[in-house]
Structure 1
């Protein structure tokens, strides 16, 4: 057990998830990093937290993870639902198994983790915070990632629903929607000058964002500084959604 408030970050072995775990550690949380990759354990040791293996597309694994956290560490006071996959493909030939896998991790897993964390928060009287990782693709679409776009649109609405349902318990639920962020997922774009030119043409700030820039917004939403913010999706996108043309 720890005397610090506990934060759980999913998909935290690298990238945005790891940056969120780092920011929350700096804010005084004992952070549990969950991921499907074994490297999560080394990442957790670096931050002085705990690492757990969990497939966020597996309902039983999610339940078991929360059981273990509560027994070994205590109840979760801040949850960051960051785990997600994209699985690009041609729309006309998009595989149903791929579609369902994306929805299972990106949307159903977010629902299950939010519901489980919230139930414990209510039982323990914890005025907690939940942050879901959305995307600008909750608002704008890319034809090659149909399941991802659908899942992030669902996350946006699920965030609103959960915020309304949990407001009476002073549990806040918000979402963060990244634009083009310099992570492993964007590595192929970074290596292609033409692709990068296209990205920058639709980004008014003319650069990719960093994982830490997303994490700082997540940490804000988990903090008392955001005590009157709930049901919101905050887009951290360098101005992308406000742009109605590309050059």
Structure 2
């Protein structure tokens, strides 16, 4: 492995990482040498995910906490402090979806999606960055955006608003924290074969639309995002800041 991409000796926290893309990111960073900290809301899923990583020989631990709960986040980082565990890499991946026409979306559903998809990145990012700044050794923050950071689609307005916010939050983080050698960037996945997208994959009309509107004529695979995550987590990206890299098979490049 090139030393540019070697994460040995680094510790990464990946939110929403007990399954789906979050687990793929965590596994990819672990394979690059990092110790990983998983997060989820289900203790059973967390233990299953940790078991998979440990069986593969990777160093991993995990915490069950709500990424939109500031006090819970503070408690987890306080425990990490007690164990002298420093988070060098943060991937703000946790997210939920809510599909409904905008005219019918309740304030509660709107707020829930923004809290989990956007506010959590601010909360976890801020507390991680405070420690990175205090240590003086820099760090990497990777926020997970979406195609909807750039383009809207009917029935997912709260998600679109949140992911558009992720793009600009990433720029704001870079503007304020670059001076402390913290690189803050985002990944914008395209249409990926995940559990969250299962209903879309199983919908023949939507499946045809995805394939017809993408130059690759297929859905993406979770492991096709890992290289970008490792790059942004590594010293290879030390002068990359405030950017969103879209891993979408060319979807945004076409009309």
Mapping for residues 1-247 of structure 1, pairs under 5 Å: 4-38=9-43, 39-48=45-54, 49-244=60-255
1:215 Cα deviation from its structure 2 partner: 2.0
Q: Secondary structure at the match of 1:12?
A: coil
1:58 Cα deviation from its structure 2 partner: 1.4
Structure 2 distance, partners of 1:25, 1:211, is: 15
Deviation digits for residues 151-177 of structure 1 (CA, Å, limit 9, x no counterpart): 001000000010111111110000000
Structure 2 distance, partners of 1:132, 1:217, is: 12
Q: Is this contact kept in 1: 2:68–2:123, CA < 8 A? A: no
Q: Secondary structure at the match of 2:113?
A: helix
> Which runs of 5 or more structure 1 residues have no equivalent in the other structure?
none
Structure 2 distance, partners of 1:153, 1:67, is: 31
Structure 1 distance, partners of 2:109, 2:32, is: 37
1:219 Cα deviation from its structure 2 partner: 1.1
* RMSD over equivalenced CA pairs, Å: 1.2
Structure 2 distance, partners of 1:76, 1:41, is: 21
Q: Please, what TM-score do these two structures have when normalized by structure 1?
A: 0.95
Aligned residues: 242
Structure 2 distance, partners of 1:172, 1:196, is: 36
Instruction: Single out whichever of 164-173 and 209-218 deviates more from structure 2.
Output: 209-218
Q: Is this contact kept in 2: 1:32–1:44, CA < 8 A? A: no
Q: Please, what TM-score do these two structures have when normalized by structure 2?
A: 0.92
1:54 Cα deviation from its structure 2 partner: 1.3
1:73 Cα deviation from its structure 2 partner: 5.0
Structure 1 distance, partners of 2:153, 2:79, is: 38
